[in-house]
Amino acid sequence: MSGVVTGCGVVSAAGDSVAEVLAAIRAGTAVRTDVHDRFAEPLPEAEAPAIAGFDVRGLLGRKGTSFLDRATALAMVACGRALTDGELTPDDDNRHRIGVVLGTTTGSLRSTMDFSRETLVQDKPYLVNPVLFPNTVMNCAAGQAAIRYGLRGVNATVAGGPLAFLYALRYALNAIRRGYADALLVGGVEEYTPNTAWAARLTDAGPAGEASAVYLLRRRGAEAGGARAEVLSVATGFAPDDADAGLAGCAGRALAAADVRTADVWALAGDDADGLRNVVPTTVERLPVRPALGDCQAAAGALAFGALLARCAEEPEQAGRPALLTARSRDGGVAAAVVRGWAGGGDDHR
Amino acid sequence: MHRVVVTGLGPVSGIGIGVDEFTDGLRRGRSAAAPITSFDASGFPHRYAGEVPAFRPAELLRRVRVAEWGRSALLAAAAARLAATDADLPLPLADPGRAGAVIGTTSGESTVVEQLVADLVAGGYPSMSARSLRQAPAERLAYAVSAELGLAGESVTLTTACSASNYAIGYAYDLLHTGEADVMVAGGADSVCRWAHAGFYRLGALTERQCRPFDRDRSGILTGEGGAALVLETLEHARARGARIYAEVLGHGLNCDAHHMVAPNEDSVAACMRLALDNAGIKPVDVDYVSTHGTGTPANDLCEARAIRAVFGDRVPPVSSIKSMLGHTMGAASGFGAIATTLAIRHGFLPPTINWANPDPELPWIDPVPNVARPATVRVAQNNGFAFGGNNAITIFGAIR
Amino acid sequence: MSERDKHLEQLREIVAEVLEMEPEEVADTADFVEEYEADSLRAIEILARIEKTYKVEIPQAELNEMRSLKAVHEVVARYAGWQD
C-alpha cells in the first residue's frame, strides 16, 4: 500500500509555494536575502538563502507564539498550510487518526545552545527561563504542531540531517501501511540562525539555508479530493565505506519495491546524486536543492520533493511517471524514494 | 507477517554494564544516584544524578573509533555491541542490508553541544570546534550502532524525547514484522547535561538525592544517562541460527496528547495503553506487570496511575519504576524499561521501586513492588514511555510460546 | 500615581509579557490559569522575572497563591517589604 500526497505547505527563501521552489532550483543561482541586521550576533555573511520577512505573530497570532523558536514556528506554519491545502479539517472524530512526522538535525540548535549558555552566564546555573525549556527537545516542532491543530495520532520526529525527510517519509509510510494513522503531516524543517550559519561555515557545508516544507500524506483510498503525488516506496541504508554503491543499492531497492524500471525514471531530485550516474540514464532531469537554497539540512529533501511536485504540475506529460528522490550524508547515510506526481487531481492516472 | 523476538540485551547503565550486572542491579535494587561528575554542578542546589562513571567506551567498542563520536553515540554503540555479543549474533552478518539500527534520544549529543556552548562563551561563534559541529547531529547515534556492528540496512535516530526508545523498538518491530528486515538493534541513549539538569530544576521537577516514584512524598526526577539496546529478530531468523530467545515483542502503541508540551494527559495516556494492548492482541487482564514511566514527579505518577486504573479497572497488576534506581535516563529510559521487562519475563521476577517509604493515599490501587525485587511469573508485560511534546509510546512483551 | 499603582502596573506588564497579552488585557482579579491559559512554566517565569526586577527571593511554594495580578502583588509586597 502506498501513500498519497493531497496537500503541501511551504515556507522557503524562494517563496511559499512549490512552484517558487522549483523556479529557484531551475534558475540554479543562490537565493540571497539580506540578513546583516537580523541578529544581534555577528554572522559569517551579509546575505544568505534565508526566508525574508517571516512574521510568526502575523501568521499564527500573538498567543502561544512569543516563546516559539524559529524552527518550531516555521514547522507550525507549514503544517497548517498543508492541512488547509489538503482540505483536511481535524475534528473530534478524526484527530486521533491524524499525526505529524517531522525531520530534524539537532532540533533548534539555537534554542538548545542559548538555554545551555544561560547555565554558564547567569549568576546561578539554574536561572533559565522555564518557558523555553520545551524548545530544547528535538520533538518540539512536532509536539507544538500537534497542540496547535489538535492532532492526537502518531507524532514522531526523525533525525537525519540531509536524509531526514526521506527517513520521515519512510516512517510515515510504515505508520499508514500498518494502519496506525489515516493522515500524516510529513516534512522537514531547518532554521537559519547564527548557530547554523557558523556551523555551516566552519564545516564547509555552507551557506546555511532554511525552510519548512510539509506534505499531507494519506492512506490511498482515504484521500478526499485530488492527489498530487503518490509515494510508492522508500529505501534507506548505511554505507560509510562506499556511499555511491550504497546509494545505488538503495535506489535499486526502492525501484524494485515500487515495481518500476530504471529506464522509466524521468527525474532525479535531491543533492549529491552523482553516485547514481550508472544507475539512471544521464538524460534524466535533475533537481538539486543546495545550489539555489543553500544547506537546508533536514528541510532539503522536503524541498526537493516539492520541486518534483511542481514539475509534474506544470508538465502533464510527465504526470504519473516515476521519479527518484534521493539523499546522502557525509556520515554514510543513504536513502531513495520512488514517487509519481500528477498535474492536478490525478484520479485519471491511478 | 513475522513474529518478533528479543535475543540480546545491552544495558550501559549506572546500576550495571552488561546484562549480568544489570540483572543483578535490578534484583538487588541498586541505585545509580551519586554526586554529578559530568559537569561542574556546584552552583546547583541539587547535585545528584544517575551517571555511568564506569563507562569506558574503548573497552567495549571494537570497530568505531572513540575520538570520532560524541558520548551519546558511544553509549548507543557500546550498548549495541553488548547486545550483539549477548545475542551471539554472527558478525559480520551474511546479509547486512537486512539488518539495521533504530535509536531513540531526547537530547542527542548534548555533551558535544555543551562543548560548543563553552567554545561560544569563550570566543564567540567562530571559535566553535568544527569537529564538535560534525559530531553534533543526532542521526549519528544510530550511525554509531550501524558502524560498530557493520549493519547496512535502515539506520535511524528517533528524537521523540523521553519515550524515544519505545518509538525505536516499535518501529524496529514493524520493520521485522512486515518482513523489511531480519535483525534490528533498537534502543536509546542520552548523556547527563547541564541544560537538562537546569531545566528540570527550574520546573521544580528535580529531586535532591533520591527518586521515589509512587511514594506519597515523591519530589521529582533525578537526571540520568545511559545506553540501552535490544537485539530484535524475526522468530524464523532466531530459530534458524539457534539463538536463545528471551521474550517476544507482542506489539506497541503510539499517540500524542496534543495538549501541553510538558504536562502529561491522563486520557491520552490511557488511550495509548489501549492502542498498545490492541496492537499486541491482548487484553488488560493478560498483563502481569507494568514497567512504568514513573518519573517520580507528583504530576506524572498521579497521571500514570490514574490512566492505569482507567485501563485495568479493579485488576491492576503490580507496577514498578526502574527510574528509582537509574534516574531518568531520558531517551534511553524506555529502552531500559524494555530490558527490565524482558528480564522479568525471562527470570521470573519483578524489579522493585526503591526509595519507597509511604503509600500515596491518592493511589491505593498501586502496588509499586516496594524496595525489594519479587519472584513472579510474568507472561505478558507492558512498558510505558511518555515524553515532552505529548509523545506517548508503549511496548508490550510476552513470554515466548 | 501611588506606590501601589506603580507596582501594580509594573507587575501587570511582567505578567502580560509572559502570558503573551497586552497589559490592558490583564485584569486585577482574573485567574491566570482559568482565564489566560497560564501553566506552571509561565507561572515560574513570572516569578523569576519578578525576582530579577525587584531583587527579591520568593519561594516557589508561593506560586499556589499567585494566581491573579492582585494576589501576585500581595505576595510580592510581603517579600519585598512594600508598604502598599
CB contact under 8 A, C44 and B262: no
Q: Are A228 and A13 in contact (CB under 8 A)?
A: no
Q: Measured between alpha carbons, how far is A324 from A169 in angstroms, rounded to an integer? A: 13
Beta bridge partners of B392: B255
User: Residue ranges of the alpha helices (H) in chain A?
Assistant: 18-27, 56-60, 70-85, 109-121, 140-149, 164-177, 194-202, 243-258, 290-293, 300-314
Q: What is the pLDDT of residues B378-388, one digit of tens each?
A: 999 999 999 99
The mean pLDDT value for B347-369 works out to 98
Q: Does B259 touch chain C (CB under 8 A)?
A: no
Q: What is the DSSP string of A73-111?
A: HHHHHHHHHHHHHTT----TTTGGGEEEEEEESSS-HHH
Q: Measured between alpha carbons, how far is A13 from A292 in angstroms, rounded to an integer? A: 9
Domain boundary among B195, B217, B240: B240
- Which of C17, C18, C41, C47 is the mutation pick for testing A, counting most A CBs within 10 A? C41
CB contact under 8 A, C40 and B260: no
Whose cell is 547515534? That residue is: B141
Chain C: residues touching B (Cβ < 8 Å): 39-41, 44, 60
CB contact under 8 A, A63 and C18: no
B215 Cα distance to chain centroid: 22
List of residues 6+ apart from B341 with CB closer than 8 A: B247, B289, B291, B381, B382, B383, B395, B397
The mean pLDDT value for B188-217 works out to 97
Please indicate, yes or no, whether residues B127 and B224 belong to a single structural domain of this protein: yes
The mean pLDDT value for B47-51 works out to 98
The mean pLDDT value for A99-122 works out to 97
Q: Are B194 and A116 in contact (CB under 8 A)?
A: yes
pLDDT given for residue A350 in this prediction: 30
Q: What is the pLDDT of residues B268-282, one digit of tens each?
A: 999 999 999 999 999
Please indicate, yes or no, whether residues B157 and B57 belong to a single structural domain of this protein: yes
Which one is the CATH code of C3-80: 1.10.10.370, 1.10.150.120, 1.10.1200.10, 1.10.3470.10?
Answer: 1.10.1200.10
Its domain, for residue B98, covers: 4-240
pLDDT given for residue A212 in this prediction: 98
Based on the residue annotation, tell me whether B347 is a catalytic residue of this protein: no
CB contact under 8 A, C45 and A133: no
Q: How many C-alpha atoms does B282 have within 13 Å on its Cβ side?
A: 25
Q: Is residue A200 predicted with pLDDT exceeding 60?
A: yes
CB atoms within 10 A of CB C81: 8
Q: What is the pLDDT of residues A158-191, one digit of tens each?
A: 999 999 999 999 999 999 999 999 999 999 999 9
**CA of C52 vs chain A CAs: smallest distance (Å):** 10
Q: What is the pLDDT of residues A207-219, one digit of tens each?
A: 999 999 999 999 9
Least confident of A148-157, B300-309, C59-68: C59-68
More confident residue, C2 or B239: B239
Give the residue from chain A lying closest to B331, CA to CA.
A137
**CA of B328 vs chain C CAs: smallest distance (Å):** 20
Q: Are B154 and B143 in contact (CB under 8 A)?
A: no
CB contact under 8 A, C60 and B263: no
Which other chains touch chain B, taking contact as 3+ CB pairs less than 8 Å apart?
A: A, C
Per-residue cell: B299:
504530576
pLDDT given for residue A348 in this prediction: 36
Q: Measured between alpha carbons, how far is A165 from A157 in angstroms, rounded to an integer? A: 10
Based on the residue annotation, tell me whether B197 is a catalytic residue of this protein: no
pLDDT given for residue A206 in this prediction: 82
Q: Is residue A34 predicted with pLDDT exceeding 70?
A: yes
pLDDT given for residue A225 in this prediction: 60
pLDDT given for residue B357 in this prediction: 98
Please indicate, yes or no, whether residues B74 and B101 belong to a single structural domain of this protein: yes
Domain boundary among B209, B240, B271: B240
Q: What are phi and psi of C9, to 5 degrees?
A: -70, -40
Q: What is the pLDDT of residues B85-141, one digit of tens each?
A: 999 999 999 999 999 999 999 999 999 999 999 999 999 999 999 999 999 999 999
Length of chain C: 84
List of residues 6+ apart from A259 with CB closer than 8 A: none
Residue type for position C63? L
The mean pLDDT value for A269-290 works out to 90
User: Which residues of chain B neighbour C40 with C-beta distances below 8 Å?
Assistant: 203-204, 262-263
From the list C82, C36, C80, C39, the residue with the least C-alpha distance to C63 is: C39
**What is the complex's ipTM, to 2 decimals?**
0.98
Q: Which of B141, B195, B201 sits opposite A116 (nearest CB)?
A: B195
Percent of chain A clearing pLDDT 70 (strictly above): 97
Q: Measured between alpha carbons, how far is B18 from A93 in angstroms, rounded to an integer? A: 47
**CA of B29 vs chain A CAs: smallest distance (Å):** 30
User: Residue ranges of the alpha helices (H) in B88-241?
Assistant: 110-123, 130-135, 140-149, 164-177, 194-202, 235-240
Q: What is the pLDDT of residues B171-194, one digit of tens each?
A: 999 999 999 999 999 999 999 999
Percent of chain C clearing pLDDT 70 (strictly above): 100
Q: Mark residue A296 as left, alpha or beta (left: phi above 0; alpha: psi -120 to 50; beta: remaining).
A: alpha
CB contact under 8 A, C41 and A133: yes
pLDDT band at A223 (very low <50, low <70, confident <90, very high): low
Q: What is the pLDDT of residues B146-164, one digit of tens each?
A: 999 999 999 999 999 999 9
Under DSSP, the state recorded for A219 is E
Please indicate, yes or no, whether residues B276 and B354 belong to a single structural domain of this protein: yes
Beta bridge partners of B50: B33, B224
List of residues 6+ apart from B308 with CB closer than 8 A: B270, B273, B290, B292, B316, B319, B365, B366
Q: Using omega within 30 degrees of 0 as the cis cutoff, is the peptide bond preceding B92 cis?
A: yes
CA end-to-end span of chain B:
17
Domain ranges of chain C: 3-80
Q: Measured between alpha carbons, how far is A104 from A156 in angstroms, rounded to an integer? A: 11
Based on the residue annotation, tell me whether B260 is a catalytic residue of this protein: no
pLDDT given for residue A21 in this prediction: 98
Q: What is the pLDDT of residues A305-338, one digit of tens each?
A: 999 999 988 887 878 899 999 999 999 999 999 9
CB contact under 8 A, A333 and B139: yes
pLDDT given for residue B401 in this prediction: 84
List of residues 6+ apart from B255 with CB closer than 8 A: A96, A152, A153, A154, A155, B268, B271, B272, B275, B392
In a domain, B63, yes or no: yes
pLDDT given for residue A346 in this prediction: 40
CB contact under 8 A, B202 and C44: yes
Please indicate, yes or no, whether residues B229 and B290 belong to a single structural domain of this protein: no
pLDDT given for residue B316 in this prediction: 98
pLDDT given for residue A1 in this prediction: 60
Q: Measured between alpha carbons, how far is C29 from C32 in angstroms, rounded to an integer? A: 9
List of residues 6+ apart from B211 with CB closer than 8 A: B33, B218, B220, B221, B222, B295, B296, B321, B323, B324, B327, B328, B355
Q: What is the pLDDT of residues A39-86, one digit of tens each?
A: 999 999 999 999 999 999 999 998 889 999 999 999 999 999 999 999
- Which of A104, A123, A139 is the mutation pick for testing B, counting most B CBs within 10 A? A139
Q: Is residue B312 predicted with pLDDT exceeding 60?
A: yes
Please indicate, yes or no, whether residues B321 and B341 belong to a single structural domain of this protein: yes
pLDDT given for residue A283 in this prediction: 86
Q: Is residue B170 predicted with pLDDT exceeding 60?
A: yes
Q: Is residue A349 predicted with pLDDT exceeding 60?
A: no
Please indicate, yes or no, whether residues B198 and B302 belong to a single structural domain of this protein: no
Q: Which of C20, C41, C48 sits opposite A66 (nearest CB)?
A: C20
Q: Which CATH number belongs to the domain containing residue B233 in this structure? A: 3.40.47.10
User: Which residues of chain B neighbour C44 with C-beta distances below 8 Å?
Assistant: 202-204
Please indicate, yes or no, whether residues B80 and B39 belong to a single structural domain of this protein: yes
In a domain, B179, yes or no: yes
Please indicate, yes or no, whether residues B234 and B99 belong to a single structural domain of this protein: yes
Q: Does A179 touch chain B (CB under 8 A)?
A: no
Q: Is residue A222 predicted with pLDDT exceeding 80?
A: no
Q: Is residue A274 predicted with pLDDT exceeding 50?
A: yes
Angle between helices A164-177 and A300-314 (to 10 degrees): 70
Q: Is residue A2 predicted with pLDDT exceeding 70?
A: yes
Q: What is the pLDDT of residues C23-73, one digit of tens each?
A: 999 999 999 999 998 998 999 999 999 999 999 999 988 998 999 999 999
In a domain, B245, yes or no: no
Q: Measured between alpha carbons, how far is B157 from B134 in angstroms, rounded to an integer? A: 16
Q: What are phi and psi of A226, to 5 degrees?
A: -80, 145
Domain count, chain B: 2
In a domain, B246, yes or no: no
Question: In chain A, what are the domains?
Answer: 3-219 (3.40.47.10), 230-345 (3.40.47.10)
Angle between helices B71-86 and B110-123 (to 10 degrees): 160
Q: Measured between alpha carbons, how far is A72 from A210 in angstroms, rounded to an integer? A: 12
Q: Rounded to 10 degrees, what is the CA torsion of B393, B398, B400, B401?
A: -120
Q: Is residue A343 predicted with pLDDT exceeding 80?
A: no
Q: Are A298 and A322 in contact (CB under 8 A)?
A: no
pLDDT given for residue A221 in this prediction: 77
